[in-house]
Chains A and B, each alone.
Chain A
């Protein structure tokens, strides 16, 4: 029998109406990187929250080095050497790095903070693990990647031996991901044990030693990474065969549908425009992918295109018609469909029923309204049709309040609505964010289908793999400008990554993105899906 540092045995955790963890066993060896894989709502985050003392399980026990322990709160977890990097960082933005690291463990002398000793330790740790963090920097001024390292420093400062990473790569650029994975490997080599929650099979294959797969709250199995394949992992996770790459017919693009001419969009804060002098076109039967690290103007570009933000300078031409000054409704009627980045903010009225949400963009059409009255029957019928066609799952069909549905099914509802209506241009922003492999496959197939029907598709995604997989043409945005155009067949993620981090630099480390603040709000959406 092998030595385990942490054993979680037969953990059962129930929430009203849902069995989040059903008899799950997870054993962590010393010095290993153990991946935890599962779809949205599979119970990964719940399981980790149990380990970190945020939830108490109804059944099961946790052992540390063979000894049964009770973890009532994160402080208990800390005492046992368990640390966690949350998906949404728990940092005080207007504190320095050092202050954040010390917070909760302040060393004092005569009631005053004693920084010198703490600072020395932070510098030491930063150096030893190649974190390159400046202890005096303000957290709000450093990049997301650096903020994550502050979270890591917090764990190290507390001498944690068991490190939990909750989807750490979701917010990082490719280069940063590479560096993080190296850092994780370094920890493992030093004898620290790592639990690594992720959706991304590639990362698991790259760094993990073993992988535990959960599906719908149940334990599926634990596999050695050396002896498994991506295909097997995704099958375990979803419970069926999954196509990891989308199949696409060769198809030449038709006439120009959208032409963006020297578009400039003002930023919400600051003087620098969010989108600066951007020109490109999208033709029918073509998927144009826009790659970029979050916050480089992609959001504003699409908002300006769909009418949610005003255009400061430049022109938007949709099929020969100038829509620069058109209202949202006019653009919608002109044929723009929009899968918004943030489905909770824009895409859905969460307290409306599914039927009401399905007509959100069409409720004025004669099909659904007559003499100013809504045709409830027609709405219901239409919703049922979309539910059947797109396999949207919900508690009570068209009457379900959307808030009660899972994130994946909410997204499916938005996609169903936008894809099904008559459109010539589909602007899809992060359509697969926070979705699991099975749902991603579905969404990407829908995008390709739109293209095959001869529609133009503009795809904005932070996932390079998705951009490379689905697009016919790739544009890279950096600081509000388009810095490169690529043919997906002739480029690599690595090359795109360099351009995404600012084309002319060579290193492409996180330092260069200093000051680019992540929009935490939109991130929350993806976080909420986690069980």
Chain B
């Protein structure tokens, strides 16, 4: 009997349902992706999907480097994902991660080029500057929402464009930063680059630890603190939060500030990555394109069920299949195929939420009150779709992927 109770408890735990939903989403997404690959090139589809799933590690010339790059590219996905997931707990959709990410990237670059600081201090200042940039941009959305009632999605989409054009303008107008002949930024000073983890050929750096640390910290904030309690209460039932005397304006601001700072940190970690070839660095090209990292972050947040710990895995997974996708070029597949697979995974995630809601509804008919939940899931759904409609451009080589 107690054994049965435990099983019951695990089965009833909300976490297990969302975990199942995630697994289901990934599985059906990959299945559909496989079908698409079959259509695109039937002969190599089997090998192709295997390469995608393994992140291209088995076929890479340097497996360690490939693994390193997977984790390196997971950092911005993870940090922007955390941003989206955290803000989502309050019931808001932070589609503005892309803008906050770009702002963070620029602030970090600015600190890197403008403050001549000793190494060991310089990159720390640059990271903090990046967080500040993202936080400013996030807070702007929060201010509009809290004081003027502007829908955060609309405000954030606008701010994405404003931020991107501003940054591109600032970059091009800054001779210390911009190398007009190459249409990209100059190499970041070595003192501003993050400490490498020492995998040769890989940009992997301490950023991954910062990101995972941030995830754990967020989890603690959400589940153990008074602030997290207010945040969750507001997200689950804003009316009850008001009734309980919570200050919704302040909570919106603080949450957007934290969300923005996370996305900004993502931007900073990307641009400050240590160079693979000494004397060079990651660079930024002001080509008027919204940063794609933000949209990957949205995907990671949804796939991770907006749970900080879940997002760690979903971000790494997304990075893995993206790297795998690049490697699938060996079999003649283009990266667009992988974008489709990711898109399908996300769509399936929303479907599995739907399925979960349906089963819950049947179970709850008597206890009543499915209304709020379905409201929430509706939000989920529309949010997901809006995230999908604005996917950025494809990515190219190693420097352009930060876009």
Where the two chains meet, the residues of A that have a C-beta atom closer than 8 Å to any C-beta of B are 15-18, 20, 41, 306, 308, 327-332, 338, 340, 344-352, 356, 360-361, 363-364, 369, 372-374, 376, 396, 401, 403-407, 524, 528-529, 531
Contacts and interface: CB of A to CB of B under 8 A. Distances in A.
Interface string B128-145: 000000000000000000
A345 B367 contact: no
A184 to B, nearest CB: 28
Interface string B66-99: 0000000000000000000000000000000000
Contacts of A407: 367-368
B363 A338 contact: no
Given A345-B239, A350-B237, 12 more contacts: A16-B363, A17-B363, A306-B243, A338-B243, A346-B240, A350-B373, A360-B233, A361-B244, A361-B245, A373-B225, A376-B224, A528-B369
A374 B226 contact: yes
B366 interface: yes
- Give me the 4 closest cross-chain CB pairs, A-B, nearest first: A528-B368, A329-B245, A346-B243, A328-B245
Nearest to A340: B243
A345 B229 contact: no
B194 to A, nearest CB: 30
Nearest to A528: B368
B242 interface: yes
20 contacts: A20-B366, A41-B366, A308-B243, A328-B243, A329-B245, A344-B369, A344-B372, A349-B237, A350-B369, A351-B14, A352-B232, A360-B233, A363-B244, A364-B226, A372-B225, A372-B226, A396-B9, A404-B367, A524-B371, A528-B369
Interface of B: 9, 14, 224-227, 229, 232-233, 236-237, 239-247, 362-369, 371-373
Contacts of B247: 327, 329
A367 to B, nearest CB: 13
Contacts of A356: 229, 233
Nearest to B372: A350
B242 to A, nearest CB: 6
Interface centre among B232, B237, B372 (most CB of A within 10 A): B237
B226 A369 contact: yes
B229 A363 contact: yes
Contacts of A348: 237, 240
A327 B225 contact: no
B378 to A, nearest CB: 15
A169 to B, nearest CB: 21
Contacts of A364: 226
Contacts of B239: 345-346
Given A15-B366, A407-B368, A529-B368, A374 B240 contact: no
Nearest to B245: A329
Nearest to A16: B363
Nearest to A344: B369
Contacts of B244: 328, 360-361, 363
Contacts of B233: 349, 352, 356, 360
Contact of B226 (A361, A373, A396): A373
A20 B366 CA distance: 9
A338 B242 CA distance: 13
A487 to B, nearest CB: 33
A403 B232 contact: no
A386 B246 CA distance: 23
A403 B364 contact: yes
Nearest to A329: B245
Nearest to B367: A404
A308 B367 CA distance: 27
Contacts of B364: 403-404
Nearest to A18: B366
Contacts of B371: 344, 524
Given A350-B236, A363-B229, A16 B362 contact: yes
A406 B373 CA distance: 17
B50 to A, nearest CB: 40
A374 B364 CA distance: 30
Contacts of B224: 373-374, 376
Contacts of A352: 232-233, 236
Given A360-B233, A403-B367, A351 B240 contact: no
A209 to B, nearest CB: 30
A338 B244 CA distance: 10
A378 to B, nearest CB: 13
B373 A345 contact: no
A393 B372 CA distance: 23
A129 to B, nearest CB: 34
A332 B245 contact: yes
A253 to B, nearest CB: 28
Contacts of A351: 14, 236-237, 372-373
B320 to A, nearest CB: 32
Contacts of A330: 245
A19 to B, nearest CB: 11
Given A15-B365, A18-B366, A372-B225, A327 B245 contact: yes
Contact of B240 (A20, A347, A396): A347
Contacts of A306: 243
Given A327-B245, A328-B245, A374-B226, A345 B240 contact: yes
Contacts of A338: 243
Interface centre among A349, A373, A407 (most CB of B within 10 A): A349
A373 B363 CA distance: 34
A352 B365 CA distance: 19
Contacts of B367: 403-407
A524 B226 CA distance: 32
A349 B240 contact: yes
A174 B365 CA distance: 31
B89 to A, nearest CB: 12
Contact of A372 (B227, B240, B245, B372): B227
A330 B244 CA distance: 11
A16 B361 CA distance: 11
Contacts of A15: 363, 365-366
Contacts of B237: 345, 348-351
A16 B246 CA distance: 37
Contacts of A327: 245, 247
A121 B366 CA distance: 39
Nearest to A20: B366
A349 B236 contact: yes
Nearest to A527: B368
Nearest to A407: B368
Contacts of A41: 366
Contact of B242 (A328, A376, A403): A328
Contacts of A20: 366
Interface centre among A16, A401, A524 (most CB of B within 10 A): A16
B234 to A, nearest CB: 9
A407 B229 CA distance: 24
